[in-house]
Amino acid sequence: MAWLDAHAPFDPDSFDAPVIGIAATLGDHDSGTHHHRRGQLLFTRQGCTRITLAQQLCLLPPSRAAWIPPGIAHRAVMQHSVDYRSIYLTPTLCANLPQQVCVMEVSPLLRAVLEAIAQADFDINWQQGKYFHLLGLCLSEIRDAALQPMLLPLPSDKRLAPLLACVEQLPPQLQVLQKQIGASGRTIGRIFQRETGMSYQQWRQQWRLMRAIELLCTGRNIGYSAFELGFASDSAFIAFFKDMTGTTPGDWLR
């Protein structure tokens, strides 16, 4: 196991063991865009992590994990204090795991397994005994984990580059976007449907939900979150959140 700080160099590909686990508590950390030969399971125990991929934005609130297959370029941004665990698996071990980036719910069993792997020494023998079975259980739990809608596909059309320049900024309403990029609402709708599988309004609402969760998980209150996301009142924000998740922001946090 390695406990890391924000400035500690770490290259999972430099180790020979089939499994490498790390643990860290970081604040306001930006990994920069990078990739590795191993697959990575990144689990947020406390706080919130935002992962930017080439054509997707991924959010990791507490009790969620992101599976990143080998070779996928990604950038992890952690705000305030984030307590996380991460395990890295050789490509051979990843053969029967998801081939696309996904966000999954972490069951109590998977949480316990990840903690045990994160605490294991780097020279553990994973081919026999307790750790052989622990690894097998971990792979099984990853395959069977329930997926969560915490991925936002990003359009690649160059006309929409200004929209994606700052992923923290509230996307404008459709009428405003039309004027910004000089395209009709129908054209914008076709672009989003083709490149994200959603209408612009659906995409904007999913963005708002993910940003709402990020704000709440980093300590912002309902009033602040409602204002940042363009809602006219706290009650409008609460109604939106409940419509999207089935629960209120307070209940979701609890």
List the chain domain ranges: 2-144, 155-253
Residue 62 pLDDT exceeds 90: no
| Amino acid (1-letter code) at residue 187 | T
pLDDT level of residue 29 (50, 70, 90 thresholds) = confident
Condensed to tens digits (0 to 9), the pLDDT of residues 88-137 reads 999 999 999 999 999 999 999 999 999 999 989 888 899 989 999 999 99
Q: What is the pLDDT of residue 2?
A: 52
pLDDT attached to residue 4: 58
Considering the chain, what percentage of its residues have pLDDT values greater than 90? 63
Least confident of 76-85, 125-134, 168-177, 233-242: 76-85
Place of tokens 């629960």: 247
pLDDT at 250: 87
Over residues 148-200, the pLDDT tens digits come to 878 899 999 999 988 887 778 899 999 999 999 999 999 999 999 999 999 99
**Per-residue pLDDT, 5:** 58
The rounded percent of the chain whose pLDDT value lies above 70 is 96
Which of 208, 159, 154 has its CA nearest to residue 188?
A: 159
With beta carbons less than 8 A apart as the criterion, state whether 65 and 106 touch: yes
Question: Averaged over 219-228, what is the pLDDT?
Answer: 93
57 neighbors 154 (Cβ within 8 angstroms): yes
Q: Are 115 and 85 in contact (CB under 8 A)?
A: yes
- Specify the pLDDT at position 8: 64
Q: SS3 for 58? A: strand
pLDDT for the residue 207: 93
- For residue 246, what are the contacts with CB-CB under 8 A and spacing of at least 6? none
* pLDDT band, residue 7 (cuts 50/70/90): low
CATH number 2.60.120.280 is the correct assignment for the domain at 2-144? yes
Q: What is the mean pLDDT of the chain?
A: 90
Per-residue pLDDT at 54: 79
Residue 6 pLDDT: 56
C-alpha span between 30 and 198 (Å, rounded): 29
Work out the average pLDDT over 141-145.
Answer: 94
What stretch of H or E contains 231?
A: none
The third-level CATH classification (topology) of the domain covering 155-253 is: Arc Repressor Mutant, subunit A (1.10.10)
